[in-house]
Amino acid sequence: MKVLQINTICGSGSVGRITVDIVHALEAQGDGGMVAFGRRTGPERVPTYKFGTDLDMGLHVLCTFFKGEHGFASGKQTGRLIEKIREYDPDIIHLHNIHGFYLDVEQLFRYLKTAGKPVVWTLHDCWSFTGHCAHFDYISCMKWKTGCGHCPQYRSVYPYALFKDNTASNYRRKKAAFTGVPSLTVVTPSRWLAGYARESYLGEYPVQVIPNGIALDKFHPVDLGLRQKLGFENKFILLGVASMWEERKGYAYFEQLADRLPEDYQIILIGLSRQKMKKLHPKIHGVMRTNSMEELAEYYSMADLYVNTTLEDTFPTTNLEALACGTPVLTFATGGSVESVDGTCGRVVPKGDIEALEVAVKELRAAPLKTEDCLAKAAHYDKNDRFREYLKLYRKLLEE
């Protein structure tokens, strides 16, 4: 069995790492895998094919900015991709993120409709069934259920369109392109996203939930004296982690918590930009972004509580990483963030409710949850189990 995956990038970022892990899982079973990608560079020792160029990406960005048409450029590069698919002749084509300034989705799906190959499409956000937005939960917009237009955030969120609201046209074109593939299965990492996919025009396809997994050999309880090194021995530590602390990640709620909580609480935020570090609240300890799993595991293990204030999220792996290090999770009731948290390993409070957040922090300090229960919950999200689910799906599709 040979599987060709398609994603914006390969080997970096959460989805880029997933593509590599799936190749390794295939190879471990004696099967073959390749990742075709459009941007950056790929890792060594993994079969890859980069079909995009920096120039083309720049032109695609301009097309998006000025025409408001994202995903409808990069025709030449998409043609190269299709030639590679024909040459590689995979048994399964597995799509991940097909947005990101590198693909002509109409051209790709015209090919997929005639290729005669099973297609798996893992949705990591909502871009596939909206006229513009990868996320819409923050503004509670449901126009995608009937057709977009007059988009309230086409200028303000990725993929930014500066001058023209083409969301109604984009919606119609994407619906026409993405429907009617003879053998396509949609996969989502959360029940929340699966529900929306079924309500959208993608509901004509089977939708299966395969949660994101984590490396339990990397994320586990560890104590290397970090609390002592930082001088926080007598503090109750709240930890927040994000790859980018944008507004929808809820940075402002940590500033409010810092103002509300007594001196014996300490907030630590990881993933801050230099600009954020310069303007950091005096009661928050900031750490710039790190790609070191070992360093992250130290911080997760040191924390008394992991706090996820995200206002939009599909299925945050940071919750899983914290649980795997024995740390309970407190999250807003946002998207798929609630699906990894129950009463044994954390708490869910209404989205945006700072008073409920503060109360929950204090209650979880007064009545701590058991490390063993957090570890037991995390055990359900071993990434190797998740990749075996993908292999099982591939084989099922080939048998049909």
On whether residue 191 sits in a domain, the answer given is: yes
Question: 106 and 15 in one domain?
Answer: yes
Average pLDDT of span 242-250: 92
Q: Is 221 exposed, middle or buried (0-12, 13-18, 19+ CB in 10 A)?
A: middle
Average pLDDT of span 26-36: 98
Average pLDDT of span 284-309: 96
* Amino acid symbol at 358: E
Assign 246 a pLDDT band (cuts: 50, 70, 90): confident
Domain containing 34 equals 2-213+383-399
Sort residue 46 into left (φ over 0), alpha (ψ -120 to 50) or beta: beta
Contact in structure between 6 and 95 (CB atoms under 8 Å) = yes
Average pLDDT of span 13-21: 96
On whether residue 280 sits in a domain, the answer given is: yes
Pairwise CA distance, residues 187 & 209, whole Å: 6
On whether residue 219 sits in a domain, the answer given is: no
Encode pLDDT of 303-351 as tens digits.
999 999 999 999 999 999 999 999 999 999 999 999 999 999 999 999 9
pLDDT at residue 386 in the model? 96
Question: 207 and 125 in one domain?
Answer: yes
Share of the chain above pLDDT 90, in %: 98
Question: 329 and 241 in one domain?
Answer: yes
Contact in structure between 166 and 186 (CB atoms under 8 Å) = no
Average pLDDT of span 157-182: 97
From residue 179, give the alpha-carbon distance in Å to each of 73, 144, 175, 191, 394: 19, 15, 6, 21, 21
Contact in structure between 134 and 99 (CB atoms under 8 Å) = yes
Residue 3 is encoded by which pair of tokens?
């599987």
Question: Domain of 77: which CATH number?
Answer: 3.40.50.2000
Q: What residues contact 362, with CB distance under 8 A and at least 6 apart? A: none
From residue 61, give the alpha-carbon distance in Å to each of 58, 159, 215, 398: 5, 9, 34, 37
Contact in structure between 165 and 67 (CB atoms under 8 Å) = no
On whether residue 158 sits in a domain, the answer given is: yes
Instruction: Give the mean pLDDT of the chain.
Output: 97
On whether residue 341 sits in a domain, the answer given is: yes
Residue written as token pair 């590689």: 88
Question: 185 and 297 in one domain?
Answer: no
Interior angle at CA 373, CA 320 and CA 300, nearest 5: 40
Encode pLDDT of 264-284 as tens digits.
999 999 999 999 999 999 999
Question: 351 and 393 in one domain?
Answer: no
Question: 193 and 248 in one domain?
Answer: no
Question: 196 and 241 in one domain?
Answer: no
pTM of the predicted model over 0.85? yes
Pairwise CA distance, residues 52 & 167, whole Å: 25
Tell which residue, 16, 73, 86, 78, has the closest CA to residue 52: 78
Average pLDDT of span 195-216: 98
Instruction: State yes or no: pLDDT of 51 exceeds 90.
Output: yes
Instruction: State yes or no: pLDDT of 212 exceeds 90.
Output: yes
Contact in structure between 139 and 184 (CB atoms under 8 Å) = no
From residue 317, give the alpha-carbon distance in Å to each of 205, 359, 377: 26, 25, 13
On whether residue 218 sits in a domain, the answer given is: no
Contact in structure between 81 and 51 (CB atoms under 8 Å) = yes
Handedness of CA 54, 56, 57, 62 (dihedral sign): positive
Question: 319 and 282 in one domain?
Answer: yes
Question: 271 and 201 in one domain?
Answer: no
Domain count of the fold of the chain: 2
Instruction: State yes or no: pLDDT of 241 exceeds 90.
Output: yes
Handedness of CA 311, 314, 318, 320 (dihedral sign): positive
Question: 130 and 73 in one domain?
Answer: yes
Instruction: State yes or no: pLDDT of 291 exceeds 90.
Output: no
Q: What residues contact 205, with CB distance under 8 A and at least 6 apart? A: 181, 184, 185, 186
On whether residue 132 sits in a domain, the answer given is: yes
Tell which residue, 286, 284, 285, 237, has the closest CA to residue 265: 237
